[in-house]
């Protein structure tokens, strides 16, 4: 084993089935006849209902309240035609809206959207084409509009008919309250009442309950809140493992799992601070855990989570931290009983806040499995030694433990005798230089749950001077050393930068300064 500090431990946190509210399809609603009484697109001007001024978006003239029609956004109804939510406005808007907050992730029951959207049947009443959807934010409720955009996207029309374990995985940087209070300048434009921990905690738990994940990967979990707040997860059927950041830090990473659905087989915690290693001098940490479905304990899989260094200028540090984490992922996911090279590793998930955008060096390394680091800018890498992580830790440039490679080389029977030895990854490294190669690589054939590209796919997860993506869920796909037993079924849609606009988080419905990631997978048996 390498000299990196890796700790084995177990600890602590399942939601019982979330209650669901169903809309009565037979319930009659008094909806105005749009064919004979053409509606207008209106903007709500805030305040109580008695003082609301409504204005025609196009003409800019006041209109009668009797003609008001507020529309649900079509995304909430999976492209079903919009229906009027309110015919005659006579409600206290905020009271009406707050009653929906506990069902924000419900794809059918969601708050009235803050966007007015013309549909085909209303097309002749609008000067804009239907495909140029007009989004008009309603002042005062823009914050809640985010959740209306976060519908579940179906990615597989016909899931594999083979038996398997279907589960939901969530990753969330929940923003430690200590960090919020130590950096108040980052939240000077936020409403202070939404920054209190009690308010944020309620919002965080509401969101987690709605998504109802089987496994939750959390970052920035404040250690002092474990017993007083996060222990609530135990009453929902979760248990968890936690690792605080090293030094004087007060937060860390956690992985919670539903005990009725999965079993924790083993886990390790990884400290990225390594004495006398120049690039590993920060207090970030990670967790790597091995699970098995309750109903099929032989079909194991590995989940890792981490929170990498923030400093935008230190790409080299983040690469070194990931090299250390992947070496533990490799060790935990390696299958001694593999019958072919393709199943050398168990299915793998790597989640967390990577503090790096898509198409960056680190992102490309994750999805391409290789990266040349010897040509990175001077000052980032020691070009003389051509090394990210010193060989004294025993971590190779292939993100593996050198001593484990040696022991595997001496234990050939972990592969079926019929396998071509030339394809054996251990033999592959027998005569290959393992350190100071100038090239970093791994064997996991990873893919991100989200697309990260194109004019319609510029998703964002947090705001750092601008809306950007820094949070990820990577999962293993079919490759040379990994099989295709993981199938991505659905994902919780991320809003785009344009949709997020000037919205601030945390806010009245979202408890963190990051958006959560969630996806549903099928692990084939």
What pLDDT, in 10s, does the model give residues 314-330?
Answer: 999 999 999 999 999 99
Element of type H or E holding 123: none
Q: Model-level pTM? A: 0.72
Rounded Cα distance between 93 and 417, Å, is: 71
- Compute and round to an integer the Cα radius of gyration of the chain: 25
Q: Is the pLDDT of residue 301 over 80?
A: yes
Rounded Cα distance between 401 and 80, Å, is: 53
Cβ atoms of 219 and 253 within 8 Å: the answer is yes
Which two three-digit tokens encode residue 48?
Answer: 């109580």
Q: Is the pLDDT of residue 375 over 90?
A: no
Please state the separation of Cα 18 from the chain's center in Å. 21
Cβ atoms of 511 and 204 within 8 Å: the answer is yes
Element of type H or E holding 462: strand 462-463
Least Cα distance to 291 among 324, 268, 257 occurs for: 257
Which two three-digit tokens encode residue 373?
Answer: 């680091």
Residue 385 pLDDT class (50, 70, 90 cuts): low
Q: Is the pLDDT of residue 72 over 70?
A: no
- Annotated domain spans of the chain: 6-16+151-379+437-524, 42-149
The predicted structure's pLDDT at residue 7: 57
Give the β-pairing of 446-448 and 348-353.
unpaired
Give the β-pairing of 486-492 and 517-524.
antiparallel
Read off the pLDDT of residues 444-497 as tens digits, 9 standing for 90 and up.
999 999 998 765 568 999 999 999 999 999 999 999 999 999 999 999 999 999
Mean pLDDT, residues 40-50: 37
Rounded Cα distance between 359 and 370, Å, is: 13
- Mean residue pLDDT of the chain comes to 76
SS3 sequence of 255-298? EEEECCCEEEEEEEEEECCCCCCCCCCCCCEEEEEEEEECCCCC
Q: What angle do helix axes 361-368 and 315-333 make, rounded to 10 degrees?
A: 20
Q: Is the pLDDT of residue 261 over 90?
A: yes
| Cβ neighbourhood burial of 222 (10 Å; 0-12, 13-18, 19+) | buried
Tell whether omega for the bond before 389 is within 30 degrees of 0, i.e. cis: no
| Cβ neighbourhood burial of 449 (10 Å; 0-12, 13-18, 19+) | buried
> What does the DSSP assignment read for 347-393?
-EEEEEE-S--TTSHHHHHHHHSEEE-TTSPBTTBBTTTTBSS-GGG
Give the β-pairing of 285-293 and 262-271.
antiparallel
The predicted structure's pLDDT at residue 123: 38
Q: Is the pLDDT of residue 121 over 70?
A: no
Give the β-pairing of 152-154 and 164-173.
unpaired
Read off the pLDDT of residues 141-161 as tens digits, 9 standing for 90 and up.
456 677 888 999 999 888 788
Residue 467, classed as helix, strand or coil, is strand
Among 26-35, 141-150, 179-188, 233-242, the least confident range:
26-35
The predicted structure's pLDDT at residue 458: 87
Tokens 């008009």 correspond to what residue? 136
Which two three-digit tokens encode residue 471?
Answer: 């949070």
Distances in Å between the Cα of 338 and the Cα atoms of 347, 424, 474, 515 are 13, 11, 23, 38
The predicted structure's pLDDT at residue 132: 35
Residue 440 pLDDT class (50, 70, 90 cuts): very high
Which two three-digit tokens encode residue 518?
Answer: 């969630």
Mean pLDDT, residues 133-138: 38
The predicted structure's pLDDT at residue 386: 64
Superfamily of domain 6-16+151-379+437-524: Endonuclease/exonuclease/phosphatase (3.60.10.10)
């Amino acid at each position: 084993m390498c000299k990196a500090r890796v700790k084995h431990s177990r600890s602590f946190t399942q939601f019982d089935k979330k209650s669901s509210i169903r809309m009565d399809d037979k319930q009659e609603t008094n909806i105005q006849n749009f064919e004979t009484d053409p509606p207008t697109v209106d903007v709500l001007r805030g305040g109580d209902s008695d003082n609301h001024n409504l204005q025609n978006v196009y003409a800019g003239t006041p209109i009668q309240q009797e003609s008001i029609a507020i529309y649900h956004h079509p995304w909430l109804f999976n492209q079903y035609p919009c229906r009027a939510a309110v015919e005659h406005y006579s409600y206290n808007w905020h009271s009406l809206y707050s009653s929906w907050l506990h069902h924000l992730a419900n794809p059918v029951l969601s708050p009235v959207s803050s966007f007015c959207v013309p549909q085909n049947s209303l097309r002749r009443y609008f000067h804009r084409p239907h495909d140029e959807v007009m989004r008009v934010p309603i002042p005062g409720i823009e914050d809640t509009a985010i959740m209306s955009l976060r519908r579940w996207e179906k990615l597989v029309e016909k899931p594999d008919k083979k038996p398997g374990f279907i589960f939901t995985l969530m990753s969330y940087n929940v923003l430690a309250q200590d960090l919020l209070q130590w950096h108040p300048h980052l939240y000077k434009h936020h409403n202070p009442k939404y920054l209190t921990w009690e308010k944020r905690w309620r919002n965080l738990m509401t969101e987690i309950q709605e998504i109802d994940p089987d496994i939750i990967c959390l970052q920035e979990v404040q250690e002092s809140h474990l017993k007083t707040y996060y222990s609530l997860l135990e009453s929902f059927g979760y248990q968890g493992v936690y690792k605080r950041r090293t030094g004087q830090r007060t937060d860390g990473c956690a992985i919670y799992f539903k005990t009725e659905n999965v079993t924790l087989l083993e886990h390790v915690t990884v400290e990225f601070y390594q004495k006398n290693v120049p690039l590993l001098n920060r207090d970030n940490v990670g967790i790597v855990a091995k699970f098995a479905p309750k109903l099929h304990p032989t079909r194991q899989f590995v989940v890792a989570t981490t929170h990498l260094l923030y400093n935008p200028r230190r790409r080299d540090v983040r690469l070194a931290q990931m090299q250390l984490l992947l070496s533990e992922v490799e060790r935990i996911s390696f299958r001694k009983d593999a019958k072919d090279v393709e199943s050398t590793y168990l299915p793998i998930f790597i989640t967390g806040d990577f503090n790096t955008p898509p198409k960056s060096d680190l992102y490309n390394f994750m999805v391409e499995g290789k990266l040349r680091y010897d040509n990175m800018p001077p000052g980032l890498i020691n070009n003389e030694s051509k090394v990210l992580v010193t060989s004294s830790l025993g971590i190779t440039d292939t993100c593996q433990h050198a001593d484990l490679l040696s022991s595997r080389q001496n234990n050939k029977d972990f592969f079926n005798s019929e396998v071509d030895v030339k394809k054996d990854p251990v033999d592959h490294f027998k005569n290959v230089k393992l350190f100071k190669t100038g090239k970093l690589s791994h064997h996991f054939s990873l893919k991100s749950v989200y697309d990260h590209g194109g004019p319609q796919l510029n998703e964002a997860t947090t705001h750092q001077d601008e809306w950007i993506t820094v949070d990820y869920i990577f999962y293993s796909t079919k490759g040379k050393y990994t099989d295709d037993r993981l199938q991505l079924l659905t994902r919780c849609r991320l809003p785009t930068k344009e949709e997020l606009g000037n919205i601030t988080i945390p806010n009245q419905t979202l408890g963190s300064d990051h958006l959560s990631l969630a996806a549903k997978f099928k692990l084939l048996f």
